[in-house]
Amino acid sequence: MCTTRIMSLKKRKGVSTVLGTLIFIGILFTSVIPMMLVMNQADTIFEQKKLELQRADEEHAREQVVVYVYPTGDAEQDNLTVMVENRCEMSVQIVRIWINDTIHSKEYTVQSMSEQVLDSFNVSPPEDKNSTYDIRVTTERGNVFEAGSGPITYDGWKWIVEELMINVLISSPGVVFKIYLAGPNNYTGYAQVWKIGGSAFKSFIIPENGDYTVTVKRGSQIIHEEVVNMNWPDGPSILWVYA
């Protein structure tokens, strides 16, 4: 009799242990494991967002846009043409054009290493006094680029800029470079620049319109030679040469 009762108690205890184990496993699968999966998914999403932000910051820093502004048609008109040059390896989305405090919200996609005329804008300058205009463009990545030639002024009769310039940007390997300019009416220009990593930059102020031959040498070797045409006000007042 006692033996039967003890065996019955042991059976019940064994059944309770199995049921408790099954309940624990059920709780584990229905709450703990899903919570761990959700946490792992949240960590994955966080890392993806972190990578996207890092990539966006890198692309923001790599954007390089040159902005040109010149009269549309001739120097007496009230319209200004805005042109940009994309100097980076990514396409650039222009989303706003600022002319002083006036915003023109338009979208333009400028492909890598290419130039594009954005539009011609009527600014209606008053004819009785000088009017100065600052032109900037904003990209989708949040960069703001100003016109490389600086402000453009309407003096009551025509559009004028402070200076006509040729900018030379050297990215070729080397340390010491010599830059030669030859232009109309026996104009010559010369500069020696040093480059330690990255790139070197030199700006030349030129006296008049015409064809200019730009020659870049490393030692006695010509590494770049190009003829550029300054044709202000029918074109930009600043020209770029990349060597």
Give the pLDDT score at 128. Answer: 60
pLDDT tens digit sequence for 147-159: 877 788 887 777 8
Closest alpha carbon to 69 in 150, 5, 143: 150
Give the pLDDT score at 178. Answer: 94
pLDDT at 137 over 90: yes
Question: Is the domain 163-243 a CATH 2.60.40.10 member?
Answer: yes
**What's the per-residue H, E or C state across 189-202?**
EEEEEECCCCCEEE
Counting residues of the chain whose pLDDT is more than 70, the rounded percentage is: 76
Instruction: For residues 143 and 87, give the distance between their C-alpha atoms in angstroms, rounded to a whole number.
Output: 14
pLDDT at 241 over 80: yes
pLDDT at 76 over 60: no
Average pLDDT, the chain: 81
List the structure tokens of 111. Answer: 């492909």
The pTM assigned to this predicted structure is 0.67
Instruction: For residues 40 and 38, give the distance between their C-alpha atoms in angstroms, rounded to a whole number.
Output: 5
pLDDT tens digit sequence for 156-186: 777 888 889 899 999 889 889 999 999 999 9
CATH fold for the domain made of 63-162: Immunoglobulin-like (2.60.40)
Kindly state the average pLDDT of the residues 121-126: 80
> pLDDT class for 15, splitting at 50, 70, 90?
low
pLDDT tens digit sequence for 208-231: 999 999 999 998 899 999 999 999
Kindly state the average pLDDT of the residues 12-17: 56
List the structure tokens of 26. Answer: 């059920």
